Structure 1
């Protein structure tokens, strides 16, 4: 039984909307493993008392791209985290449409909380009727400085936020009732929040310099990134970034 001093672990389902690049896959398996690594670091640096991950979260991972039946029953979980993806949240592939429908069901149900990361941030926007599209300002990638709103400073507990980015799609309008927490010149809606309902970020708190280096190199060789864009990203790939800060904000949100 949980108590006031030690509540039961939160049942968080990680909805895997992509497969990691080969080096990341070799080290962590799926994106469930990548986010487990992030939350382990977040729990280990909780203040004033570090905690083991298993006392804070009970994680499960679900491959929603390749298994349309992989979704957890909302009655058996407390929250979902929708991962990033190389796909676009505004496309109408069957698995994306199903994800939008499931996300809307969770949000409308009022009990299951939703965390969205990059593609997941955009899926939450789409599920709530926001405008999601390709950004004519182009790519935003590698460690990027975000300007926080007053509410954003409270939620993340810092004055400014540096976070890995890897996107050229964006959310262009706030859903009804949402509070914008962060912005950049390239992408004005970097984070959306409704208390006890959802918290999203356009960036990638789970990414590390090694991960982003591999993604940048693969996308350069694949012709997706031009040389100038690639070099710009590589210049900032090892900059200090606040992924653990964001993960701790996710934990606080899940406990609201």
Structure 2
């Protein structure tokens, strides 16, 4: 299942505001191909979640559509082409990707559950889809840092602030160790802002080094909601959006986005 040059065909894609993803094969592609989406398994685990889509004629091209109502579990979905029965699956080369509908995605209100999909190119040059699926989400719309604190503006999707709402920073690997901050509510409880004092956070890190994960608890009895940045066209933020560290009492503190695009604060000893 190759092109005339023996190389895999290019597969373009575009995404709509509703999350619908359209995959396009170039003119001249053989009929009978299907598209396979495979949830990338953890190391040493078998693959379990698979979705197969048919290509349909669309002018000179052939097109497969991933419907927004088809639920994708959270994770990274690799894209393959399937040919004749028994033929080996093939990774297509990425073609043009139209992600314009995602650029201002944080401005659109999302119901629960919050489903996010972003087509992207992997480090080894293959097409994949990054998916998130959460009961609710707190989108970090802005993170302003100074030498003494960080102030975050966020918007809730699938939830709203109620009485007893707090922002909770939890020290990773330290059980129930947490610091709480009172949020400032805006826009009928859907938007909020909060400021984290670096000195207090550094003083609450017993070993002098650690990572604090940021959550919003929208009500006294409500489950925690992770704060992150998911609603735009960046599938991986960690190495792209980088905030400067601040020196506070011999410790360096910096907010950063994790591999899942969630917001955390790293505390480390100054060299």
Normalised by the length of structure 1, the TM-score is 0.26
**Higher strand residue share:** 2
Query: Of the two structures, which has the highest relative contact order with CA contacts closer than 8 Å and spacing of 6 or more?
Result: 1
Normalised by the length of structure 2, the TM-score is 0.25
**Higher helix residue share:** 1
